[in-house]
Amino acid sequence: MLKRTLTIFSIVFLGTAIMSFKTKNMHDHHSIYDIHINSLMGDPIDLNEFKDKKILFVNVASECGFTPQYEDLQKLHEKYADQLVIIGVPCNQFGGQEPGDAKEISSFCKKNYGVTFLLTEKVDVKGANAHPLYKWLTDKHQNGVMDSEVKWNFQKYLVDQNGHWQEYFSSKVKPLSAELTAAIEK
């Protein structure tokens, strides 16, 4: 009788442990606000400061065919300043199109496009060394919504005002397009 009771207990305990593990891994996405990333000049960015606003993350590059999107990103930043934060994330993983250091990137963006929106440190957005921000943006187990892959410079990820993954847009979707502005206004 004791052996049978221990066996039943073991089965129940093991089953509970397995379900707990599966549930934790399926739903254990953390908040975007818990992620640490630095500004282009090395200062910590506290994403908590942007609660109650949508955030548009864009992996940017200075020598890309899509680089002129900086101009419209700046216009978007100005138009929706009360409800949207734009964060440009320099990345050199696509065609080596962001070779500059922090000062060169900052100077280029201000001089050529008048960029005043936030730029982060240069990071990887895909692969084994992807920054935790992009792991969250591209991994369903972390963002709770869907998997995606960053395919080129100027791909855009929109996070809603509650820190939930909302949508992503390919590089070809222009910042002032009806598709993107409708998602911001949603």
- Could you list the active site residues? 64
Closest residue by Cα to residue 145 from 168, 128, 179, 170: 168
d(CA 45, CA 38): 5
Task: Strand 156-159: give its sheet, edge to edge.
Answer: 118-119, 84-90, 54-60, 156-159, 165-169
Please tell me the distance from the alpha carbon of residue 46 to that of residue 55, in angstroms, as a whole number: 13
Using CB atoms within 10 A of its CB, is residue 160 exposed (0-12), middle (13-18) or buried (19+)? middle
Q: How far is residue 41's CA from residue 101's CA, in Å, rounded to a whole number?
A: 10
